[in-house]
Chain A
Amino acid sequence: MTPVAGIGLRAAHLAAVVRDRPATAFLEIHAENYLTPSPAFDTVERLRADYAFSVHAVGLSLGSTDGLEDTHLRRVASLVDRLQPTLVSDHLAWSISRGRYLNDLLPLPYTEEAIDVVVRNVDRLQETLGRRVAVENPSCYFSFAHATLSEPAFLSEVVRRSGCGLLLDANNLFVTTQNLKLDPRVWLDGLPVDAVMEYHLAGHAVNDADGEPILIDDHASRVSAPVWSLFGELVERFGPRPTLIEWDADIPPLEILLDEAATADRRVAEREAGAARAA
């Protein structure tokens, strides 16, 4: 089986990746770190010769009623043009309001009005880049009282109207469904199978919010057992897809990320072997 798992390339590992050239299916970068002509950008551009890349934006703010910011969109488009990545993605979230950038992936109320906003922004992004992009399900810590749609119904409608793909983050899905007391298997029902372009995997923390546990998407540990199990469910339903190990805080040595990626590949291989036996 061809490996599907890649790792999030973080600045702390740039030198080690350049030196060791570890085998991995792909490297994913956060677009916003590479929009200036820094030595880090030069390094990534050199690595591009040896690796497949995925460009994961964190600041396009696909859910902003302000629309996409012209300069930022142009800079991301220029990066995508330079690197010619396999995948481009951002989140179902907003982070800009009235020209102020809040540096967070803030949730949307799942309403018809918000679908119009997201579809308009995704359309513009796809038109500018001249390619299909993937939209990622966010980690949610609350829902809005006036929401009229479930998150998967909302995502499905965005896919239907814009033609975009989906990036399913198994950890975000687990965090959201735990925090909002939903069933992740039900959440997955009815998602458009063909739209799924990539999976994300990461660790989370369990915190205390006024006496109640709440899961925090902190990208600071190994993938948890229930998220591995959910990942198996995703592969079962939607098939193997490029799968990313994300780690953004308390970043461990590169070997740990590669080990997590190897686990993801092993899980996919086990599923495929199981499916072959069943057939």
Chain B
Amino acid sequence: MSTTRIAIAAALAAAIAAPAVTQAQGNVEKCYGIAKAGKNDCQTDHSSCAGTSKKDGQTDAWLAVPKGACEKIVGGKLTSS
């Protein structure tokens, strides 16, 4: 076995022998809980389609501007071009 291969084997064996030591570095973001599971519930309810607006929703599209957490993202390049 080459020196490199021996070193790799030793590193892998160490990882298997001491699995808990690195746990603190796992730092998993919890970001997609089961409350996100109901996407097909919106078919049976017509709550968002009130029918009160004389205009179709699409006509409003051009009036909307990004307004949210993006206001906290600054600097860097401003366009993708």
Contact = CB atoms under 8 A, between A and B. Distances in A.
Interface string B11-41: 0000000000000000000000111111111
A214 interface: yes
B44 A209 contact: no
Contacts of B48: 249
Nearest to A217: B46
Interface stretch (A11-19, A63-71, A154-162, A271-279): A11-19
Given A14-B34, A33-B41, A103-B42, 6 more contacts: A14-B37, A32-B40, A40-B38, A214-B51, A220-B45, A249-B42
Contacts, number: 90
A213 to B, nearest CB: 11
Contacts of B39: 33
A279 to B, nearest CB: 38
B43 A58 contact: yes
Interface in A104-155: 104-105, 139, 141
Contact of A12 (B35, B46, B50): B35
B54 interface: yes
A144 B38 CA distance: 32
**Which secondary structure dominates chain A's binding surface?**
mixed
B24 to A, nearest CB: 25
A11 B43 contact: no
A112 to B, nearest CB: 28
Contact of B38 (A10, A103, A218, A250): A10
Interface string A22-39: 000000001111100011
